[in-house]
Amino acid sequence: MGFFPKCFLLLFFAAGFFTQEAGATGDSLYFLLPSDTVVVRFDALSGHLLFDHRLAPRQTLYGAARFYGHSLDDIYRLNPGLQLGYKPGTRVTVTIPKSELRSGYARDSLAWFVPVRYRLSAGETLYGLSRRTLSQPNDSLIRALNPGLNAQDLEPGRVLTIGYLRIDGINPDHQVKVEDRYILQNRDLRVQWDSTMSQRRLKFTTGKAAWTTRGDQNKWMVLHRTAPIGSIIEVEDPRSRKTIYARVVARIPEEVYDSRVVLVVSPRLVKAFGVRDKEFYVRTRHL
């Protein structure tokens, strides 16, 4: 979003409380207003700060992506369900780079900034918020932004100011790298694969994969015809361009699946690949 005269923005800010759509972030013209409430949360899996933007009428997903410095692919990685559509009021999760948070602003720049706040979780400390969540060397910034703060009296749900964000958008060059959430969740198995398979002679297989609704919804599991039980297998889905690692837990039952099926995957892999068809093409590497 381009810059516009400060006098106009100040007038617009004054009227914002009356024109802003309830439950929306920004309005039909601007994606973020000084009157908005920006409360972020910390995603321990990625290490990023996340914010839920609520689409106002006439706001588009593409526009929101551009405003926050994301690509549409980033938005879909953060919000897989939005590929099926969206409407006014839809929640769009975006990342707020820590580097974009300002510790303050000049008094005549009030209309260009919105305060960014953080809601404490159970057991969260001022030290943890400063060092782990915000990557600050100490808690001096949080104390300066929250005068009178008592570190010994921080209850869950307490909302603290952690900085200020400009409302003219985030530069794409300053945005963080957004990775697919399932790829992040699969990271431990990938690390095991990299550490144990780099010097092994592997077999390559291509063919159809089927999926089952049975099995633990939270585990990466597959059935295979020959790979050793308990070993890790690499599964690539060319359609989604994702590679997932899974544990071989059993053999493919011959009486259920024909010989064209080289792999049967568990529900979690189905979700990770975004599969809708009962059978889909895969490439695998395994022992």
What is the pLDDT confidence band of residue 83, given thresholds at 50, 70 and 90? confident
**pLDDT at res. 143:** 95
- Are 120 and 155 in contact by the 8 Å Cβ rule? The answer is yes
- Are 268 and 217 in contact by the 8 Å Cβ rule? The answer is yes
How is the beta sheet containing 91-95 ordered, strand by strand? 91-95, 48-54, 38-43, 113-119, 159-166
In angstroms, the CA 133 to CA 142 distance is 12
Tell me the pLDDT tens digit for each residue of 200-259.
999 999 999 998 887 788 899 999 999 999 999 999 999 989 999 999 999 999 999 999
Tell me the pLDDT tens digit for each residue of 150-175.
988 899 999 999 999 999 999 999 99
Fold of the domain built from segment(s) 181-286: Barwin-like endoglucanases (2.40.40)
Q: What is the mean pLDDT of residues 115-121?
A: 96
Structure tokens at 241: 């361009």
The answer, yes or no, to whether residue 22 has pLDDT greater than 60, is: no
**pLDDT at res. 9:** 44
The answer, yes or no, to whether residue 5 has pLDDT greater than 90, is: no
Q: What is the mean pLDDT of residues 33-53?
A: 95
Residue 126 phi/psi, 5-degree rounding, is: -65, -40
In angstroms, the CA 92 to CA 70 distance is 12
**CB atoms near residue 216 (< 10 Å):** 11
- Are 141 and 130 in contact by the 8 Å Cβ rule? The answer is yes
Instruction: Record the pTM.
Output: 0.78
Torsion (CA) 125, 128, 130, 136 in degrees, nearest 10: 160
**pLDDT at res. 16:** 43
Q: What is the mean pLDDT of the chain?
A: 90
The answer, yes or no, to whether residue 3 has pLDDT greater than 80, is: no
Cα dist from 65 to 172, 181, 192, whole Å:
10, 18, 35
The residues near 136 (Cβ < 8 Å, ≥ 6 apart) are: 130, 142
| Domain chopping of the chain, boundaries | 6-174, 181-286
The answer, yes or no, to whether residue 19 has pLDDT greater than 50, is: no
